[in-house]
Amino acid sequence: MQTSEARSKSPAESSEHRLNRPQTLVLPARTASVSRKTGETNVHVSLNLDGTGQCMAKTGVPFLDHMLHQIASHGLIDLDVQAQGDYEIDDHHTNEDVGITLGMALGQALGDRKGIVRFGHFVAPLDEALIQVALDFSGRPHLTYGLTIPTERVGTYDTQLVREFFVAIVNHAQMTLHLRQLDGINSHHIIEATFKAFARSLRMAVEIDPRRAQSIPSSKGIL
């Protein structure tokens, strides 16, 4: 037979139970849709930072499409990128402007960056290639690019465009990004491992930190 003490909790016990109960965070949708049209390209990017990794990429640059799929899949970002460019010249303008527009969309979706973890890092292997990425949504654009890609092209893609893509993202998402190649001799593997490591670092950095979901992750109070 239960006693009255067993059947009911004291106010202090009830209060403690409420304090220990997991809280459900209700946050606004972290989505963005950005269009950018110039005399050289017409680019549209839509994304959802809290997605499941769905990707629609049609840039006219097949290898870039493949890399955008890596960002979406491994970053768990829903991504739709549509682009038209002056391919008769080369892929440079399209590659760069996709990076610019994607960077703008990331910045828009993050808003004031309240609640995010802010920092992200990952080391990704792909066969013989090993790439380390570290990033910080610091509000200060900086890229340290440490890749040594041995061939000038992967398929029809100019491997110099890898750096230009990340320069564009960094400048317009206002992030600090370090890319370091620890190993690798195959150009495709080096580039793909870089995009995968970037995606996982991005995923870590934009996650909501439940311990300070309502504050900006900076001792200055602003990013």
Q: Total structural domains in the chain?
A: 1
Residue 115 lies in a domain: yes
Residue 102 lies in a domain: yes
Would you say the C-alpha torsion 92, 36, 167, 110 has a positive or negative sign? negative
pLDDT of residue 212: 87
Give the Cα separation of 46 and 110 in Å (integer). 13
Helix (H, G, I), strand (E, B) or coil at 132: strand
pLDDT of residue 6: 47
Residue 22 lies in a domain: no
Q: Please give the biggest Cα pair distance in the chain.
A: 86
Helix/strand/coil percentages in the chain, nearest 5: 35, 30, 35
pLDDT of residue 125: 98
Residue type, 221: G
pTM here?
Answer: 0.87
Look up the domain containing 108 and give its range: 31-212
Give the 3-state DSSP-derived string for 141-188, with helices as H, strands as E and coil as C.
CEEEEECCCCCCEECCEECCHHHHHHHHHHHHHCCEEEEEEEECCCHH
pLDDT of residue 32: 98
What is the tens place of the pLDDT at every residue in 81-96? 999 999 999 999 999 9
pLDDT of residue 66: 98
Q: To which residue do tokens 């009255």 refer?
A: 4
Residue 178 lies in a domain: yes
Residue 66 lies in a domain: yes
pLDDT of residue 23: 53
- Residue 161, phi then psi, degrees to nearest 5: -75, -15
Helix (H, G, I), strand (E, B) or coil at 48: strand
Task: Count Cα atoms within 13 angstroms, Cβ side, for 55.
Answer: 18
CATH assignment at residue 123 = 3.30.230.40
Pick out the chain residues at pLDDT < 50. Answer: 1, 3-6, 8, 15, 19, 22
Q: What token pair was written down for 16?
A: 């403690």
pLDDT of residue 26: 58
Residue 77 lies in a domain: yes
Residue 219 lies in a domain: no
Residue 76 lies in a domain: yes
pLDDT of residue 28: 75
